Amino acid sequence: MVKNTWPDSSGYYGKYGGKFVPETLMSALSELESAYAEALADAEFQQQFNQLCKDYIGRPTPLYYAVQLTAKSGGATILLKREDLAHTGAHKINNALGQGLLAKRMGKTRIIAETGAGQHGVAVATVCAMLGLECIVYMGEEDIKRQAPNVTRMELTGAEVRPVTSGSKTLKDAINEAIRDWVSNVRTTHYLLGSVVGPHPYPMIVRDFQSIIGRESKEQVLAVYKRLPDYLVACVGGGSNSIGLFHPFYDDKDVKFIGVEAGGEGLESGKHSATLATGKAGVLHGTKSYLMEDEHGQIKETHSIAPGLDYPGVGPEHSFYKDSGRATYVTVDDKQALEGFRLLCDTEGIIPALESAHAIYYAAKMAKGLGQEILIIVNLSGRGDKDLDIVTKALGMGK
């Protein structure tokens, strides 16, 4: 695993992070923290994780030189980290596998998870089937309607999908419901959180399991180009695929990090998910970080054409990177993301997830002004099959 500069021993990244949870969960978080520390030090656990990354997920995923995309953009060399080729079609499986193995090691028999668009739920259901664990996924009723194929995938792999009818019936409500379940069943149950959010130690654990993306990328770029990249570009929802790419390069000060948030219908419209660009510090789902709230301190409704970016919070480590200047955060709106989506389909024959299309658009745009010797690694966090309905409607294709 990578060198852990942050968080500190209380789970803080500068002034962000921590654990803001009911008393009943404090001991569960401590149990998880020590179990994780033991697993980190256990060569057998690491070997098991690495072996399944290889045999089950299909790692290492390629670092692909996008020749046509580079030519079309007319500037810097663009390399794509192909997380879209991981089993279940996105990076989420890396974390689901890691935490699934950890839960087994802790003797937990029951896994609960939240899901928004269903991508994390699918990854968790998949891993639970493979490891023989009971799996319950909380999903907002609204999301169940919008993401029917993912509900089928979860049910096929043996998970129970529980509809959440509170609040806006979407992701943040599903997280609240999962936390409620955990409080009641903490002895038998592991809560398998899907991004670098939530109370310590989750942001650290998820980051470490996702850091396989950055570690592989570093090895791959060094093998071919004999040097480090100049830029890393990734989309930011909760922040797990981006931190997974960025973190192993943390001490390589010449490598610049660019996180791309969802600009939705434009920052002025208020309909977006640009938490770092427009939010302010507060506490949500057990962690202190940037978040989006209205003038009454209520969590704002968010919007993005990419279901996986539609979350009003962001991981505490990103808040810390933003304030310290280690990473730069930009926004790409729905229309631009669709342009990025088409661009990758046209130039490379790869259909990206709409989330990843945000990063593609930004990387192609910034590449234009730069020389070909400049290397940009873009995290292609997932494949776009899940988004075909949205894209068909948005582009006015089909009937």
Ligand X SMILES: *Cc1c(COP(=O)(O)O)cnc(C)c1O
C-alpha span between 242 and 228 (Å, rounded): 17
Name the one range near ligand X by CB under 6 A: 67-75, 125-133, 236-244, 333-341.
236-244
- The minimum distance between CB 381 and ligand X, in angstroms, equals 3
Site size toward ligand X, by CB under 6 A: 19
Sign of CA dihedral 318, 321, 324, 329: negative
Of 33-41, 136-144, 325-333, 350-358: span binding ligand X (CB under 6 A): 350-358
Query: What is the set of active-site residues?
Result: 92, 114, 381
Which DSSP helix (H) or strand (E) runs through 306? none
75 or 111: whose CB is closer to ligand X?
A: 111
Residues 33, 255: Cα–Cα separation, whole Å: 31
Within a 10 A sphere around the Cβ of 42, how many other Cβ atoms?
A: 12
- Binding-residue pattern over the window 279 to 298 for ligand X, x denoting contact by CB under 6 A: --------------------
Distance (Å, rounded) from C-alpha 305 to C-alpha 229? 30
CB of 237 to ligand X, least distance (A): 3
Main-chain phi, psi angles of 64, to 5 degrees: -105, 125
Residue 271 phi/psi, 5° resolution? -95, 85
Tokens of 254: 């010449």
CA angle centred on 246, ends 240 and 252, rounded to 5°: 160
Among 19, 92, 247, 288, binds ligand X (CB under 6 A): 92
319/272 Cα distance (integer angstroms): 18
Q: Say whether residue 239 binds ligand X (CB under 6 A).
A: yes
Identity of the residue, 18 or 382, whose beta carbon is nearer to ligand X in the bound complex: 382
356 binds ligand X (CB under 6 A): yes
Q: Is 236 in the site for ligand X (CB under 6 A)?
A: yes
274 contributes a contact to ligand X by CB under 6 A: no
Which member of 241, 275, 319, 331 binds ligand X (CB under 6 A)?
241
Which of 208, 216, 261, 355 lies at the binding interface for ligand X (CB under 6 A)? 355
Asked if 382 interacts with ligand X (CB under 6 A), we say yes
* CB closer to ligand X, 241 vs 289: 241
DSSP 278: H
We find the least distance from the C-beta atom of residue 271 to ligand X, in angstroms, to be 18
| 195 touches ligand X (CB under 6 A) | yes
3-class SS of residue 323: helix
Residues 57 and 86 sit within 8 Å (Cβ to Cβ): yes
Q: Which residue has the tokens 């990328």?
A: 217
Q: Is residue 237 at the binding interface for ligand X, with CB under 6 A as the rule? A: yes
Closest CB 180 distance from ligand X, rounded Å: 22
Give me the long-range contacts of 366-371 (CB less than 8 A, separation at least 24).
366/76, 366/231, 366/233, 366/258, 367/70, 367/73, 367/74, 367/75, 367/76, 367/77, 367/78, 368/73, 368/74, 368/75, 369/75, 370/75, 370/76, 371/75, 371/76
Q: In whole angstroms, how close is the CB of 42 to ligand X at the nearest point? A: 26
Contacts with ligand X in 307-336 (CB under 6 A)? 308-309
Give the nearer residue to ligand X in terms of CB position, either 75 or 284: 284
**240 counts as binding ligand X under rule CB under 6 A:** yes
CB of residue 123 to ligand X, shortest distance in Å:
9
Strands (E), the chain: 12-13, 16-17, 63-65, 77-82, 110-115, 134-140, 160-164, 189-191, 231-235, 256-264, 280-284, 287-291, 327-333, 375-380
The answer to whether residue 119 forms part of the interface with ligand X (CB under 6 A) is yes
238 binds ligand X (CB under 6 A): yes
Number of residue whose CB is nearest ligand X: 382
CA 156-162-166 angle, 5° bins: 150
Q: Which of 69, 85, 90, 338 binds ligand X (CB under 6 A)?
A: 90
Which residues of the shown chain bind ligand X in the complex (CB under 6 A)? Answer: 90, 92, 119, 195, 235-242, 308-309, 353, 355-356, 381-382
